[in-house]
Structure 1
Amino acid sequence: MPHLRAGGLVPPRREKRPLPRIPIPAARAVVDCALYVDGQRQPGRISYTAAFDQVRSSGEGFVWLGLHSPDAEQMQGVAEVFGLHELVVEDAVHAHQRPKLEIYDDTQFLVLRTVKYVEHESMEQASEVVETGEIMIFCGPDFVITVRHGDHTHLSGLRRRLEARPERLAQGPTAVLHAISDLVVDSYLAVTDRMESDIMAIESAVFGAQKRWLNIDPVYLLKREVLELRRAVTPLTGPLARLTANNPLVPKEIRRHFRDVADHLTTVIDRVVEYDEVLTSILGAAAAKVGLQQNTDMRKISSWVAIGAVPTMVAGIYGMNFDYMPELHQHWGYPVVIVCMVIACSGLWAVFRHHHWL
């Protein structure tokens, strides 16, 4: 209520209410949507709602809907149209999922981790070697929905290549599921090929020509990137095994293609395990080499400290201001002491040099 102040009544302070959030329509997250009948893309632009209604009413073809980083409300709108389970809808909104395959009635939900090799001039200047993203695929009897998270998970080129081969698309949504899986696993092979050159460069730096200093940070960086690649690749073994088994939702011909994808994945996993073991060996050798460098530096420091201790000791003794000290009042006393200190220091230097401490 109003209250008194000097000068009159002051109206009550009104609390600021947050502005209501304006929902963003699901169409904003749509990258592409098309209706395919007998492997042929139907002309014209069509919404996923109209396309799915047409498929269900005619009983022919399937819908391929591509989404990029949808929010919860956008994904909920898509789920209501295609009848997706609420649990997989939540997974599709929140990224950072492990590769997995979940089956809800006649809908398969496959999560794939994508990887991209980050270009760099040298490992010393690199801050990242592998960049990861995610592709989530909903595959039903008459639809396939792809949800992409990340900037390098483009599928437009794959869609064009499949549209150029209508006999593949005529096999249904599982053909798209296989094509995306094959594309992702092939990208794993390309990344491992590029990482092999980085490992060889680091191996040459560690075991090659002797250097005054060895930078061990690139070894730790590449070790971390290999572990990240391993986390993206290894869990995919189980989902591909289920897709190649007697899965009633996957036609027999498509299962044969999935076996080829599984073979490529096995090759990738073998490479990643090998890279991990090699980097572990390189890391141990690099750590030993750095330790040897530090021991060499400590020996040099200790040698110079021992050499410097001789004149320091003599100067300390003659700096005690006693009257009766050897040769203190002789004219040749000072040069003799200097010569003796030089001879002692030179002798210590020769001894340390002989034992390769200096």
Structure 2
Amino acid sequence: MGGTLKYWQCSRQGVVEVADADAPRPDGTWLWVQADHPTAEELHAIADRLGLHPGAVNEGVQPHARTIQQIHGDQVLLAMKTVRYTSGPSVSTSRVVLIVGGSVLLSACFDDQDPVTPAINRLVGDDEPREHGVWDGVYSVVHEVVDGYTSTSDAVAADIVRIEQEVFSGRRVMVLEPIYGLMREVLEFRDAVDPMVSIVTDMATRQATSRRFRDAQHKVKQTRQSVASSEQLLTLILDVHSGQINLWQNQDMRQISAWAALIAIPTVITGVYGMNFHWMPELRWSWGYPGVMVLMVVVCVVLFLNFRRRGWL
């Protein structure tokens, strides 16, 4: 088999790992099936075994499944994007699929970003009573996903501050590539966060665990606001930095023009005398050569001081 399966029996008394989905379940107990890196065939097989709707599985196993909540009869599909932020910057997204049917919760993770294991650990150590069945498990996973959004938002904000400090440091540092890179990652982050707002809001309205989902709703709304602020701030920093680059280029052009003017004066004078016409009175003056040299030096010094006064050099 390509993936691994774990089975957990959950109740108010606690969470216990069992060997198989067919293990006897006491009254008031619901089953959590944790699928790690399953193939589509394996997920269909376990869903069929648990009596879950095949349409939910079809939607959940799409390689680029979007964040979505779907109702299939009395069953619910919830596909979410998890987010992890690393320096670079890089926002990597993954997906976790939850299918709720009766007293069964099937969760599936498809790569190394696994919010399910810490969610189960959270459920094990949760001080609040586990009295809402499978929705306690759903909330636990949603909480882990939203916490990932919050930590990513904080990391993005820290990187924006670092770039902002570089832009306003007064040094001629080109940071266009980091700005564009971070803007690209923030867009990917926004694509993961935005759909979750309506989903968590719906859960906070409809589910028995509404009080707990309202906490996740508050966090995901804060994260969306933070992402919007990050986009606006990055746009502002990009505008300022683009203005800085234009200023630097203008300064460079003025310096180049000033030095070209300084070089042009002796070049013109030596060019004229390099024509070697016979009737050039200065050629026969005893002070002709020193006079021309002094003239070139004086003109260049006057130009240099003028350019320096104007800030060109």
Q: Corresponding residue for 2:299?
A: 344
Name the aligned partner's letter for residue 190 of structure 1.
S
Aligned residue among 174, 190, 205 for 2:151 = 190
CA-atom RMSD in angstroms = 2.4
State the TM-score, normalized to the length of structure 2: 0.89
Aligned partner of residue 151 in structure 1, secondary structure:
coil
Once the two structures are overlaid, the 10-residue window that deviates more, 137-146 or 316-325, is 316-325
Deviation at 1:59, TM superposition (A): 7.1
Q: How many residues align?
A: 313
1:267 equivalent to 2:219? Answer no
User: Which residues in structure 2 correspond to 1:278-297 (within 5 Å)?
Assistant: 278-297=233-252
The answer for unaligned runs of 5 or more in structure 1 is 1-24, 121-126
The answer for unaligned runs of 5 or more in structure 2 is none
Deviation at 1:351, TM superposition (A): 0.8
Matches of 1:147 and 1:75, distance apart in 2? 8
Q: Name the CA shift for 1:154/1:270 in 2 (closer, same or farther; >3 Å).
A: closer
Please tell me whether the aligned partners of residues 163 and 169 of structure 1 are also in contact (alpha carbons under 8 angstroms). no
Please tell me whether the aligned partners of residues 132 and 150 of structure 1 are also in contact (alpha carbons under 8 angstroms). no
1:221 equivalent to 2:177? Answer no
Deviation at 1:182, TM superposition (A): 1.5
Q: Name the CA shift for 1:333/1:84 in 2 (closer, same or farther; >3 Å).
A: farther
Please tell me whether the aligned partners of residues 40 and 166 of structure 1 are also in contact (alpha carbons under 8 angstroms). no
Q: Name the CA shift for 1:329/1:188 in 2 (closer, same or farther; >3 Å).
A: same
Q: Name the CA shift for 1:205/1:166 in 2 (closer, same or farther; >3 Å).
A: closer
Name the aligned partner's letter for residue 172 of structure 1.
G
CA deviation map 1:116-154 (0-9, x unaligned): 232x4xxxxxx2243322211111112111111332324
Aligned residue among 93, 97, 104 for 2:72 = 104
Q: Corresponding residue for 1:36?
A: 10
CA deviation map 1:206-262 (0-9, x unaligned): 23x41133433222222222222211111112212322234xxx3x3x122212211
Matches of 2:173 and 2:11, distance apart in 1? 65
Q: Name the CA shift for 1:167/1:348 in 2 (closer, same or farther; >3 Å).
A: closer
Q: Corresponding residue for 1:230?
A: 190
Q: Name the CA shift for 1:66/1:319 in 2 (closer, same or farther; >3 Å).
A: same
Q: Corresponding residue for 2:112?
A: 151
Aligned residue among 132, 136, 145 for 2:97 = 136
Q: Name the CA shift for 1:31/1:339 in 2 (closer, same or farther; >3 Å).
A: farther
Once the two structures are overlaid, the 10-residue window that deviates more, 329-338 or 220-229, is 329-338
User: Which residues in structure 2 correspond to 1:276-355 (within 5 Å)?
Assistant: 276-355=231-310
Matches of 1:225 and 1:205, distance apart in 2? 19
Please tell me whether the aligned partners of residues 7 and 17 of structure 2 are also in contact (alpha carbons under 8 angstroms). no
1:82 equivalent to 2:39? Answer no
State the TM-score, normalized to the length of structure 1: 0.79
Matches of 1:184 and 1:230, distance apart in 2? 14
CA deviation map 1:31-80 (0-9, x unaligned): 5222335554446422x4x34xx56xx87532211222322222222232
